Amino acid sequence: MLEFFKDLEYNNIIDLIKIGSDAMNTMQVTFDMPETIAKYVDFADKDYQFRVQELIMYSLIQEDKLSFGKAAELLGIGKIRLITDLGNVGLPYFDQSFDEVMEDANAARVFAEA
């Protein structure tokens, strides 16, 4: 068992500890969904429910209602895990294009040289 933990980073170990905790109060939410979609969804699957919560948090992050850190805290996981989970389904942590990043880097360099 200890061999399993040997290769984990600190944040991942913290995530493993937090998985079983009740990090937030919950409420039942209902919404309409086409039957053709609903037949593919396993609503009883706890992992699936968690992934849906992560996706909702991502929407709130994109709307500037939550930070990644706060969303992770509410989910009871580490920020790195949230970023990784969302990245695994194609949702980026950085929403800038390469050109925008390079423009920001150049502006920072000019500012640092001034």
pLDDT by residue (tens digit) across 37-75? Answer: 888 888 888 888 888 888 888 888 888 898 888 989 998
pLDDT of residue 50: 85
Average of per-residue pLDDT across 15-39 = 68
Mean predicted confidence (pLDDT) in 72-101:
84
Q: Buried b / exposed e across 66-103, counting CB within 10 Å, b at 16+?
A: bebeebbbbbbbbbbbbbebbeeeebeeeeeeeeeeee
How many C-beta atoms lie closer than 10 Å to residue 54's C-beta? Answer: 19
Q: Widest CA span of the chain, in angstroms?
A: 61
Residues 6+ apart with CB under 8 A from 81: 11, 12, 15, 72
How confident is the model at residue 28, as a pLDDT? 80
Angle of the 68-75 helix axis to the 46-62 helix axis, nearest 10: 160
How many Cβ atoms are within 10 Å of 20's Cβ, its own excluded? 8
Choice between 39 and 17, residue whose per-residue pLDDT is larger:
39
